[in-house]
């Protein structure tokens, strides 16, 4: 089992002919993902990598190939429209890698998505990967191995670091999900925790958060009341000063809210084991296996 993506994923790439889109499409194909179509307006009728048809619109691509998932590699000024186009075409899962999308654009996107069945991962995220089955986005496939630990994270870099440490210790993963660090995104910690709780193969979960917002506190409430599986957590940005953005657009302590201390306290009260530094995460996960 896995969550969100697997062997049944039929992926289309919006922005497949751009530099980033082309590079990462090749990586996803090499990993074994079923990439069935690309979308670049004005280049419909062309082919990518010799066998992947390119369409002018997502609707045409879905109709012709049965694509059920989209990954977006388009510039920020076009990305909100790309998300909306995918949702309007009936895509089940949209993964937006693009960073720098204006917050107001995402407010409008989120309002529309809430009226559809489409789930958005991101924006400004590394995507997700189910080891041995499919990867959608930019998470390096070679650091993953199949197992029973679910990973959900706001930080792409920390996701790579933690997953690599797990793999080095022989601890595999079910699915790793990078939800992104923007103030407004499509999928929250709470959403992914619920999926992992319901996934029979996932036996424990890693949550990697950061300063800013209250998503980690909401996740802690779910962990305390509904989660039956062990959770190991880490909060990045513990030394960040208030009012200064640290990396992601959403990683900022504002109005005295969103501090690392608040998040760590909430997760600890909920029963999660909270690592003091990233290197400790694999140790805490391993302790649950004994």
Contact 38, 25 (CB under 8 A): yes
Phi, psi of 124 (to 5 degrees): 55, 55
User: Distance between CA 103 and CA 34 in Å, rounded?
Assistant: 32
User: How far is CA 208 from its chain centroid?
Assistant: 12
| Tokens, residue 47 | 């082919």
Please give the span between the terminal C-alpha atoms of the chain, in angstroms, as a whole number: 23
Strands (E), the chain: 10-14, 34-39, 47-48, 52-55, 69-72, 93-96, 119-121, 127-130, 134-137, 146-153, 173-178, 204-210, 231-236, 273-274
Contact 248, 207 (CB under 8 A): no
Which residue numbers are catalytic?
248
């Amino acid at each position: 089992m896995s969550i969100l993506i697997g062997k049944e994923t039929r992926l289309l790439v919006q922005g497949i002919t751009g530099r980033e889109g082309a590079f990462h499409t090749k990586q996803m194909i090499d990993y074994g993902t079923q990439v069935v179509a690309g979308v670049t307006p004005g280049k419909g009728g062309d082919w990518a990598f010799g066998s992947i048809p390119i369409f002018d619109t997502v609707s045409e691509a879905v109709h012709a190939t049965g694509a059920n998932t989209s990954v977006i590699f388009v510039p920020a000024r076009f990305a909100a429209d790309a998300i909306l186009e995918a949702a309007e075409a009936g895509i089940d899962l949209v993964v937006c890698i693009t960073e720098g999308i204006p917050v107001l654009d995402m407010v409008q996107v989120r309002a529309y998505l809430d009226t559809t069945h489409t789930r958005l991962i991101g924006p400004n995220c590394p995507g997700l990967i189910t080891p041995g089955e499919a990867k959608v986005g930019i998470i390096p496939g070679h650091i993953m191995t199949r197992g029973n630990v679910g990973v959900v994270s706001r930080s792409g870099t920390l996701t790579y670091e933690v997953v690599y440490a797990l793999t080095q210790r022989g601890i595999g993963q079910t699915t790793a999900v990078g939800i992104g660090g923007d103030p407004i995104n499509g999928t929250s910690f709470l959403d992914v925790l619920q999926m992992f709780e319901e996934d029979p193969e996932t036996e424990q979960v890693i949550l990697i958060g950061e300063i800013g917002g209250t998503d980690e506190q909401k996740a802690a409430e779910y962990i305390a009341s509904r989660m039956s599986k062990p959770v190991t957590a880490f909060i990045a940005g513990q030394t960040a000063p208030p009012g200064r953005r640290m990396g992601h657009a959403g990683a900022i302590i504002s109005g005295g809210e969103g501090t690392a201390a608040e998040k760590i306290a909430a997760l600890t009260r909920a029963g999660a084991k909270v690592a003091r530094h990233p290197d400790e995460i694999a140790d805490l996960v391993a302790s649950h296996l004994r």
